[in-house]
Amino acid sequence: MAEAKGLPADELRAISDRVLQFSEADHCRVRINSGWRGYTRVATNRITSAGGSDSTSVNITSIFGKRVASVDTNRLDDSDLLNAVRRSEQMARLVPENPEYLPELGPQRYQSNAAYYPETGELEPATRAEAAAIAIDRANTAGQIVSSYMDVRAGISSIGTSNSLFGSHSSTAVAYTLTSRSPDGLQSGWAGDEANNWNNIESQRIADDAVRKCRDWRKTPLDPGEYTVILEPTAMGMLMLRMMNSFNRRTADEGRSYFSNPNGGNRIGEQLFDERVSFWSDPAFVDSETAPFNSVGQPLSRQSWVENGRLVNLACSRFWAQRLGVEALPGPSNFIMQGGDNSLEEMIASTKKGVLLTRFWYIRGLNPRIISYTGLSRDGTFLIEDGKIARPVTNFRFNQSLVSMLENVEMVGPAVRVAASENSSVNTAIVVPPVKAIGFNLSSVSDAI
Amino acid sequence: MSKQQLPFPRNHLPFYHSNNSVLNAAPTTQSTSINRRNFMKLASITAAGPAIAARFPLHSPVAAQSLTSSERELLLLAIDAAKDAGAHYADARIIRSQFEAVSTREQTITQIQNTDSFGINLRALVGGSWGFAATQVLTRDSVAAMAREAVTVANANNAVAPAQTTLAPVDIFPDANWVTPHSVDPFLIAIEDKASLLLRINEEALRVNNVRYASSSILSVKEERMLATTEGSLINQTFLRINPAVNITAISNDGRDFQTRNAVIEPAGRGYEYVMGLELAGNAERWAEEAAMKLEAAPVEPGKWDLVLHPSNLWLTIHESIGHPTELDRALGFEANYAGTSFIHPPEDVIGKLKLGPEFMQFVGNRTEFGGCATTGWDDEGVPAESWPIIKDGIFVDYQTTRDQVGLISDYTGIERSHGCAYGQDWESMPFQRMPNVSMLPGEQGLSQEDVIASTDRGILIEGRGSYSIDQQRYNIQFGGQVFWEIRNGRKYQMLRDIAYVGRTPEFWNALDVIGGSSTYYLGASFGDAKGQPMQVNAVSHGCPISLFRNIDIINTA
């Protein structure tokens, strides 16, 4: 087996210890990221760029009393590291106090997980080019024009503090997405996947799906309005990538969140969504593993946010927890929605009139009081009538509260990891089911293809 | 070339925000003919904040360039190694990027972070295919290996699907230097000075009733870039950019509503003298009052309204609906899997033919504008900075280009040379076509802001960028703002809230009816223009006058 990407764990530890030795501050925190990124990009049925690079960066936080400053450097010689330590100390001595600073954590117990998949770490240019060649071949055969992107990461991260904390974690991830278009520019289809394990990326199936969607989709008119929608997992995941950031206790307690209680405090314990809605995060979730620690070294473990529609927890920083006299609760590092028994076919068969959505684009916040977002459908939008896909239809803009969408869930399918980021780079792991929901606001037509 | 030059942006004048009279609607008396020399005089008056002026005399040459002769040798070594390995063209860059973030909320420092990232990359052309590699290990062996790897990747890509690539001609600059025009290097201003300014801003904002939260930050960027090409150019440049930001939240008495005022200040490709001219603490209370007023503002009645878009809002509309669709790589399909394609295509059918607005509407692409975030001396493939028309007399005439693209459309534009739009965000990133500053020229009638507002009986004035979203071909727009004023009978009447304007790009720009003169010209900017896979960010500015659009659809976003 080839060597794992990134510096070896003992070398990371040595750098971390050296920085802590150099430190003359009251406290010091060292975070290191070391790894490799490789990519291959296709456009107009040829590889337009491919490359890769190894990089290591060291983030040093120095603390005097409650004065805090950080320096990030990618120069690793002893003299460079010493310079960086001194620079952060100089800055920290001069800045005003941060009254919210809490002492560095001491040793912690981290649950280990096997997030480093060697198959992903060894995903060399030739293997990536094979996947590209399959996509180019499928597109050429179908008379289409393909663009694709494969993004691969493999490496290791660590955290250490002057209070004897040290932890490190290795991981890999790969995202593969593909857009196929007709030469006249009137048809477009998309498919894509993301995983920690390369073996779970089905590059042939992705090419077939995108080419089929492009073949089947050519827009026909449909009026905007409120529709029953079936969100394929990617479409649902792109919305839940936004939803995951709203579970914040301080923002709620401060009165600037949907989860704020108008009489003060928050809405933990209240039934807020349909009972089929459950959200949790779990750094050990297979093929979506994350580091079992966050940027200040707090341990992460399986954590529920919503259970059967009831809000059960909000993330709470160490400072806010101390002020409230409760336990701190680190935010989610991945986001998982409980799946259900309904297949996509059942959802379609049960729908008298509705719209099937493949993925979204340009999602932006509208109104945080109701967690509403706008965005546009893209690369596969279909009308469902009388339990069947009737025809491809135009793209739409949506203006939709995610709260009301989660109140109006009608069916839930099996949960899968999706490529939830709009730019198709490896992103926060999102695991979601396809969902059927009523009353989704497709507010205007988008002419884009 | 356009017959009219871009004027000096009004918001880059010291004291702009205190004269910005949105609340008191005082008539403008600002001279419309402020040139750069006058500006520097004004800048020195503002900068006469005694301590700073003493430490940093204006116009002093700043030792901005820390790249050494040994780094120059590494660059030439990389170029030679690529040639030896069989590249028929290569360019290499050593890039050092420094960021300094100072962030606060209320009376708390939330982040002091300095980032320093340094490395070298090389792009090689073999056959018609590009290969790219980069390393942060700056030894001779490592750099030579990196250069050979780029050639190997180019060979491999060319084997999968051979391509045709023609590089447009370029003049050679064997010993060129450029530094962002500035008088105060932000990295020489002490962090505690920045922190205390930010805490003062927050303190002033929090004086206002209902204003509970205020956060502010200053992000400073310095990029040192040395470029070498196999054709013989060697170009050494230092870029400074700065992004001051303020975000204020007001909460209603009953705890059921909250409103924010942010996006108050524009980022700029300038030094710290820009921040000193903004009078941030002196204006914080006014911005906070706007946040509190939004709680009481009247809900908008959806439907058709005339829109008066202040440049602090319009610049982003320009970025999204004119800037992006005139990127040639998008129009040709190279960005289909992420950023999308363009409604302005195919080139042969639209160049010199597509009418995008009224006859008085002029847009230029430029990498030359004072204060522009995309302003440069040369681009990432050694093309000198220039300014060129993109929309002339309302007609689309040209795209944004790089050396390997321009030949694809030169039959229709008659232009054989690149407009200099190549940029890679850091040492790890391959350069490709990125947006230059794309700016709209002001009107020749010289109308003031008040003249433009007076041109409608029933309209809405929108200030500041809000939520913004546009489709992947840049047709369907939905843009919000920060502060909304109903205009009745040509005057500001009352504050409105929860507004977004929607439309289809060609119809929207053809509804442009009245534009302000150079006294209203203002430069907006973003550090976050995203494109490419791997995604890279680009910093870019857009200048424009205040503008009136007729009968635009308004929705209520509450």
Coil vs helix vs strand at B36: helix
Residue of A40, A188, A362, A421 for testing the chain B interface, max B β-carbons within 10 Å? A362
- Describe chain B by its helix, strand, coil percentages, rounded to 5: 25, 35, 40
Closest-CA distance, B135 to chain A, in angstroms, reads 6
Series of mean pLDDT values for 10-residue runs along chain B (558 residues):
73 74 36 39 38 35 55 95 97 97 94 95 93 94 96 87 89 95 95 95 97 97 97 96 97 92 92 94 94 96 98 98 98 94 97 98 97 98 98 98 96 97 97 98 97 98 95 95 97 97 97 97 96 96 98 95
Burial B38-59 (b: 16+ CB within 10 A, else e): ebbeebbebbeeeebbeebebe
Q: How far apart are CA B235 and CA B380, in angstroms?
A: 9
Q: Return all residues near B492 (Cβ < 8 A) that are at least 6 apart.
A: B25, B453, B461, B485, B486
Length of chain A, please?
A: 449
CB contact under 8 A, A374 and B196: no
Closest CA to B1 of B388, B385, B443: B388
Q: Which of B345, B476, B498 comes nearest A448 by C-beta? A: B476
DSSP B333-353: TTTTTTT---SS--HHHHTTT
How many CB pairs lie under 8 A apart between chains A and B?
Answer: 246
pLDDT score recorded for residue B1: 40
- Partner B, chain A 18-37, Cβ-Cβ below 8 Å: 37
> What's the number of CA atoms in the CB half-sphere (13 Å) around residue A119?
10
pLDDT score recorded for residue B41: 41
Closest-CA distance, A319 to chain B, in angstroms, reads 12
Q: How far apart are CA B511 and CA A352, in angstroms?
A: 40
Closest-CA distance, A340 to chain B, in angstroms, reads 30
All residues of chain B having their beta carbon less than 8 Å from the beta carbon of residue A95 are 109, 112, 191-192, 195
Does A337 have pLDDT greater than 60? Answer: yes
Diameter of chain B measured on Cα atoms: 73
All residues of chain B having their beta carbon less than 8 Å from the beta carbon of residue A84 are 116
Alpha carbon B259 to chain centroid, angstroms: 26
Tokens of A255: 């009165």
pLDDT score recorded for residue A2: 67
If you measure CA to CA, which chain B residue comes closest to A71?
A: B114
Q: Taking the CB of residue A157, how many other CB atoms lie within 10 A of it?
A: 19
Residue of B99, B132, B160, B202 for testing the chain A interface, max A β-carbons within 10 Å? B160
Query: Taking the domain A9-211, which CATH number applies?
Result: 3.30.2290.10
**Tokens 């820390």 belong to which residue?**
B66
pLDDT score recorded for residue A49: 87
Beta carbons of A198 and A117 less than 8 angstroms apart: yes
pLDDT score recorded for residue B398: 98
- Alpha helix ranges (H) inside B397-529: 410-413, 449-453, 505-510
pLDDT score recorded for residue A300: 98
Closest-CA distance, A291 to chain B, in angstroms, reads 23
CB contact under 8 A, A362 and B504: no
- Rg of the Cα atoms in chain B: 24
CB contact under 8 A, A444 and B476: yes
Tokens of B389: 């028309």
All residues of chain B having their beta carbon less than 8 Å from the beta carbon of residue A214 are none
pLDDT in tens, A354-405: 999 999 999 999 999 999 999 999 999 999 999 999 999 999 999 999 999 9
The answer to whether B428 contacts chain A (CB < 8 Å) is yes
Decide whether B10-61+179-295 matches B69-176 in CATH topology: yes
Q: What residues form DSSP beta bridges with B132? A: B123
Q: Which of A51, A73, A181 comes nearest B153 by C-beta? A: A51
Coil vs helix vs strand at A222: coil
pLDDT in tens, A162-185: 999 999 999 999 999 999 999 999
The answer to whether A423 contacts chain B (CB < 8 Å) is yes
All residues of chain B having their beta carbon less than 8 Å from the beta carbon of residue A177 are 337
CATH of B10-61+179-295, one of 3.30.160, 3.40.50, 3.30.2290, 3.30.720: 3.30.2290
DSSP A64-121: ETTEEEEEEE---SHHHHHHHHHHHHHHHHHSPP-TT--PPP------------HHHH
The answer to whether B196 contacts chain A (CB < 8 Å) is yes
Coil vs helix vs strand at A284: coil
Tokens of A413: 């399918």
pLDDT score recorded for residue B511: 98
The answer to whether A183 contacts chain B (CB < 8 Å) is no
Q: How far apart are CA A342 and CA A339, in angstroms?
A: 9
All residues of chain B having their beta carbon less than 8 Å from the beta carbon of residue A188 are 336
CATH of B69-176, one of 3.20.20.70, 1.20.58.340, 3.30.2290.10, 3.40.50.1820: 3.30.2290.10
Instruction: Please give the ipTM for the structure prediction.
Output: 0.91
Q: Which of B136, B249, B476 comes nearest A447 by C-beta? A: B476
Average pLDDT over residues A94-105: 93
Closest-CA distance, A224 to chain B, in angstroms, reads 13
Q: How far apart are CA A293 and CA A30, in angstroms?
A: 13
- Rg of the Cα atoms in chain A: 24
Beta carbons of A374 and A399 less than 8 angstroms apart: yes
CB contact under 8 A, A362 and B150: no
Q: How far apart are CA B115 and CA A81, in angstroms?
A: 13
The answer to whether A374 contacts chain B (CB < 8 Å) is yes
Beta carbons of B432 and B422 less than 8 angstroms apart: yes
The answer to whether B98 contacts chain A (CB < 8 Å) is no
- Partner A, chain B 235-254, Cβ-Cβ below 8 Å: 249, 251, 254
Closest-CA distance, B377 to chain A, in angstroms, reads 26
User: Does the predicted model carry a pTM greater than 0.95?
Assistant: no
Q: Of residues B28 and A128, which shows the higher confidence score?
A: A128
Closest-CA distance, A411 to chain B, in angstroms, reads 28
pLDDT band at A52 (very low <50, low <70, confident <90, very high): confident
**Stretch (H or E) spanning A310:** strand A310-311
Alpha carbon B91 to chain centroid, angstroms: 25
pLDDT score recorded for residue B66: 53
Strand spans (E) along B360-490: 363-366, 387-392, 395-396, 422-423, 432-433, 437-440, 458-470, 476-488
Beta carbons of B401 and B419 less than 8 angstroms apart: yes
pLDDT score recorded for residue B61: 35
Does A440 have pLDDT greater than 80? Answer: yes
Q: How far apart are CA B240 and CA B98, in angstroms?
A: 10
What residues does each domain of chain A span? 9-211, 219-247+269-313+332-449
Closest CA to B317 of B350, B363, B351, B269: B363
Beta carbons of B233 and B173 less than 8 angstroms apart: yes
Q: Return all residues near B24 (Cβ < 8 A) that are at least 6 apart.
A: none
Q: Which of A45, A72, A147 comes nearest B337 by C-beta? A: A147
DSSP one-letter code for A330: P
Side by side, the strands of the sheet bearing B395-396 are B395-396, B387-392, B363-366, B437-440
Q: How far apart are CA B132 and CA B428, in angstroms?
A: 9
All residues of chain A having their beta carbon less than 8 Å from the beta carbon of residue B506 are none
Closest-CA distance, B259 to chain A, in angstroms, reads 9
Average pLDDT over residues A235-263: 96
CB contact under 8 A, B555 and A399: yes
Q: How far apart are CA B87 and CA B167, in angstroms?
A: 14
CB contact under 8 A, B129 and A47: yes
**A255 to each of A249, A364, A380, A406, B213, how far by Cα in Å?**
10, 21, 39, 22, 10
What residues does each domain of chain B span? 10-61+179-295, 69-176, 303-556
**Stretch (H or E) spanning A132:** helix A125-142
Beta carbons of B202 and B107 less than 8 angstroms apart: yes
Q: How far apart are CA B468 and CA B477, in angstroms?
A: 8
